[in-house]
Structure 1
Amino acid sequence: MGLLEIDLIDETEELASEKIQLVEEILQFTADYLQLPPDTEMSVTFTDNESIREMNRDYRGKDQATDVISFALEEIGEGETEIRYESEEGMPRVLGDIIISTERAAEQAAEYGHTIERELGFLAVHGLLHLLGYDHMLPEEEKVMFGLQKEVLDAYGLQR
């Protein structure tokens, strides 16, 4: 049993159980690596290009398929108040949801010349870092986030 409680939902009903297990393992590894508190919850949904395109359009205003989208429950935008649940004794910390297009992951794995496992692992770690508040809008942020991603993936053994 890892630090994270992860709901894994395969909407495609086509993803091999080993690949789903890999995503769970790398997320648990990342949680341990980053020393997240126990009782942290999140979900990962595997979907296709059409479904993720609709989400990308509806929530981000970009009408195109993408590889991964994160919906963070602790995200703090300008002018918003921070809501923390840590004061609730015994209550889990719910990070949010990661949506991965397995179709896009397969396309990108082929484009980059690495395995679908490497791509799924990368997208899962990328999504989790977004849930934890990391971003890559500015060059400094990108350097930190991508550096941490590479560090985690290398430590897990999923080098590019």
Structure 2
Amino acid sequence: MKLLEIDLIDETEELATEKIQLVEDILQFAADYLKLPPDTELSVTFTDNENIRVINRDYRDKDQATDVISFALEEIGEGETEIHYETEDGVPRILGDIIISTERAAEQAADYGHSLDRELGFLAVHGLLHLLGYDHMQPEEEKVMFGLQKEVLDAYGLQR
């Protein structure tokens, strides 16, 4: 059973269909593993280093390419008003957007000595956890988030 409704957009028009399917499969697996409710939605956009650099610059004030960026719909930033979403039957929970640089993913897979599949899976799960409110700014947060990330990837079979 699919828990997530995922819009997958390949802006590069270069990513193999099986790589896109892998990202969908691991996100569906993670949704089940993390016990997300049915009717949860998100989008994943695959882009290149230049486009993610512009997004990183415009939204995070970091003028450099990065591997993954998440925009959580339910995220509460400093000075923002918290929004409470009612979870009525039949009304989807929209988590937000994950943007992955496939160029950076390939570079990091080579740097770390593992497969592109493993790197794409890692970045997808990392982005999903951010959408769910996990972070790694503080050592304790990092320990929790990275531990859960490893747990999901290992259970799926994408060990390093």
| Class of the TM-score when normalised by the shorter of the 2 chains | over 0.9
> Counterpart in 1 of 2:147?
147
Structure 2 gap ranges (5+):
none
Greater shift in the superposed pair: 74-83 or 105-114: 74-83
What does the per-residue CA deviation read over 1:65-124, in whole Å, with 9 as the maximum and x for residues that have no partner? 000000000001234332232244421000000000000000000000000000000000
Structure 1 gap ranges (5+):
none
> Counterpart in 1 of 2:24?
24
Q: TM-score, normalised by structure 1?
A: 0.97
Give the Cα–Cα distance (whole angstroms) in 2 for the partners of residues 5 and 45 of structure 1.
14
Q: Which amino acid aligns with 2:38?
A: P
Give the Cα–Cα distance (whole angstroms) in 2 for the partners of residues 126 and 3 of structure 1.
18
Q: In the alignment, does 2:11 pair up with 1:3?
A: no
Number of residues of Structure 1 aligned to a counterpart in Structure 2: 160
Contact 2:8 2:44 in 1 (8 A): yes
Give the Cα–Cα distance (whole angstroms) in 1 for the partners of residues 84 and 29 of structure 2.
24
Give the Cα–Cα distance (whole angstroms) in 1 for the partners of residues 2 and 87 of structure 2.
22
Q: Which amino acid aligns with 1:152?
A: V
Give the Cα–Cα distance (whole angstroms) in 1 for the partners of residues 87 and 93 of structure 2.
10
Query: What RMSD over aligned residues (CA atoms) do the two structures have, in Å?
Result: 1.0
Alignment of 1:3-82 (within 5 A): 3-82=3-82
> Counterpart in 1 of 2:83?
83
Q: Which amino acid aligns with 1:113?
A: G
DSSP-derived class of the 2:98 partner: strand
Give the Cα–Cα distance (whole angstroms) in 2 for the partners of residues 95 and 140 of structure 1.
24
Contact 2:67 2:123 in 1 (8 A): yes
> Counterpart in 2 of 1:158?
158
Identity %: 88
Q: Which amino acid aligns with 2:109?
A: A
Q: In the alignment, does 2:125 pair up with 1:125?
A: yes
Greater shift in the superposed pair: 83-92 or 134-143: 83-92
Contact 2:87 2:93 in 1 (8 A): no
